[in-house]
Amino acid sequence: QVQLVESGGGLVQAGGSLRLSCAASGRTFSIVAMGWFRQAPGKEREFVANITWVGGRTHSADSVKDRFTISRDVVKNMVFLQMTALKPEDTAVYSCAARAEYAPAYEYWGQGTQVTISS
């Protein structure tokens, strides 16, 4: 099992920045990729960005590509999401997820952290 704990959410004005962190524990040696997802009220969860544990290859949703940056620290077993130029439509609960080797999808999820952007 892998446990994930997010932090760093909060309330900021439009145009501001936030940095989310996600700490992984447990069977972290099994992680091959980690990602960030978000879910706004009344909407389905959507992919934000992900990063491979080896090599650090990243992929981001078009809606955040030029504003959000995902990174990881493999020594500390942490993944980060640096968010800039935040917009009210970025308001959501942000969750990190981990995918283990041979797993077809992200199977480990954190509890989420609220990000609220005021206009």
pLDDT digits (tens, 9 = 90+) for 5-15: 999 999 999 99
Spacing of C-alpha 91 from chain mean position: 14
pLDDT for the residue 56: 95
pLDDT digits (tens, 9 = 90+) for 38-78: 999 999 999 999 999 999 999 999 999 999 999 999 999 99
pLDDT for the residue 116: 98
CA end-to-end distance (rounded Å), the chain: 40
| Residue among 68, 93, 85 at smallest CA distance from 13 | 85
